[in-house]
Amino acid sequence: MRTTVGIIGAGPAGLLLARLLHTAGIASVVLEGRDRGHVEGRQRAGILEQGTVDVLRAAGAGERLDREGLRHDGIELRFARRRHRVDFPGLTGGRSVWVYAQTEVCKDLIALQLAEGGPLLFEAPALAVEDAATDRPRVRFRQGGTEDVLECDYVVGCDGFWGVARRAVPAGSARVFERTYPYGWLGILADAPPSHHELVYARHDRGFALLSMRSPSVSRLYLQVPEGTDAGEWADEEIWDELTRRFETGDGWTLERGPVTQKSVTPMRSYVHEPMRHGRLFLAGDAAHIVPPTGAKGLNLAVGDVVTLARALVHERDTGSATLLDAYSATCLRRVWQAERFSYDMTGLLHRAPGATPFEDRIQLARLERIASCRAAETDLAEAYTGFPFG
């Protein structure tokens, strides 16, 4: 099998890249190790930046997003039993974010790819990327119990942190920057209407909490818990009681409760692999970088990567110049490191570290007070949250 661009992974990065290439007339094949049901059902991110929404609309994948997605024009910060709303459009010149789950983005892009695009092979795990430093890279993969080879002009690894693509980069030609955090997020899905019309980020002496949603009838909520926590250690009522404590305000606000339908713990890490290219192998999304979820940047960073790469591939085809391809890693990393910085700052602002001192607690509160009372500080948060420019 041969194509121009071999894409490993049918998450939002791989699927969107395939869509962008298809609309530009560049052939691709997408290899995905899991079945379609798994890809369309795995719960991940739920916040889309303004730029991500604009790209999906332009790619023809915005119809259901516009119909079912929830536009949010701000977030609420809670601390010391107080509430402060950050007005995104008023601070950024009109930008907003949308609540629309990654599962739904994948469903939309899969439907488009199967109806209009190139081959999308499910249950076809990539085994290895070979000859990445040559002009004829190849991907060995398995489908139906038989090994096959996909020959390409370019290979793009959109296969996540544990995928095979990054392993094809020689260790001596890469640097890794990472940080692990001594806490995680205990997350639940609940059949309960959201208790607030926008996301609520709460800093509390007992730890961080986040109120989010998936729809007008389904809530998504998170609690900071110690690293290594087993979700099964927490009974449903214990979770609701703890959420109630951490979201408490002085104005009588109450938390809506309902049946918990899903429960899991997400570990927290920051990770960057430099460079994001080796020969004709390009890394995108979680294959190249991980951010703690506090800043809602993971999916949006992946979109920025593939938009940058699609532009570069079109430029190379149309002009014969590899200038943009050669600049791919540096271009993406400028945005990646700003998102890493913002996610790190948000995490430190809102989470209580094990053994935190009273001095550190007061510094957190002082930082939150600064955001609530200083338009410049508030604008910096709003501009970062709604998204850094692509490219």
CATH number for the domain harbouring residue 336: 3.50.50.60
Q: Is residue 252 part of a domain?
A: no
Q: What is the pLDDT of residue 83?
A: 97
Is 328 known to be catalytic?
no
Domain range for 307: 5-73+89-178+269-346
Distance of CA 29 to the CA centre of its chain: 23
Q: Is residue 207 part of a domain?
A: no
Average pLDDT in the 26-35 region?
97
Is 197 known to be catalytic?
no
Quick: pLDDT tens for 289-319: 999 999 999 999 999 999 999 999 999 999 9
Quick: pLDDT tens for 38-73: 999 887 778 999 999 999 999 999 999 999 999 999
Quick: pLDDT tens for 201-229: 999 999 999 999 988 999 999 999 999 99
Q: Looking at the whole model, is its pTM more than 0.85?
A: yes
Q: What is the pLDDT of residue 344?
A: 97
Q: What is the pLDDT of residue 391?
A: 67
Please provide the average confidence, as pLDDT, over all residues in the chain: 96
97-99: strand order across its sheet: 47-49, 97-99, 70-72
Around Cβ 134, how many Cβ atoms within 10 Å? 10
3-state secondary structure 291-329: CCHHHCCHHHHHHHHHHHHHHHHHHHHHHCCCHHHHCHH
Q: Is residue 259 part of a domain?
A: no
First to last CA, the chain: 32
Q: Is residue 129 part of a domain?
A: yes
Cα dihedral across residues 284, 288, 290, 295: positive or negative: negative
The answer to whether 207 and 246 are in contact (CB under 8 A) is yes
Is 107 known to be catalytic?
no
Distance of CA 78 to the CA centre of its chain: 24
> Which member of 100, 137, 293, 328 is catalytic?
293
Q: Is residue 141 part of a domain?
A: yes
Dihedral angle, C-alpha 358, 211, 258, 182, nearest 10 °: -50
Largest separation between any pair of C-alpha atoms in the chain: 65
> Which member of 22, 196, 278, 297 is catalytic?
297
- Measured CA distances, 208 to 122, 239, 249, 263 (Å): 38, 13, 14, 17
> Which member of 154, 183, 222, 385 is catalytic?
385
Is 154 known to be catalytic?
no
Q: Is residue 146 part of a domain?
A: yes
Q: Is residue 154 part of a domain?
A: yes
Q: Rounded to whole angstroms, how far apart are CA atoms 242 and 211?
A: 13
- Percent of the chain with pLDDT strictly greater than 90: 96
Q: Is residue 358 part of a domain?
A: no
The token pair that represents 84 in the structure block: 């402060």
Angle at 29 between CA 26 and CA 33, to 5 degrees: 155
Q: How many domains does the chain have?
A: 1
Instruction: Using alpha carbons, select from 178, 54, 60, 34 the residue that is nearest to residue 120.
Output: 34
> Which member of 22, 72, 204, 289 is catalytic?
72
> Which member of 154, 181, 201, 328 is catalytic?
201
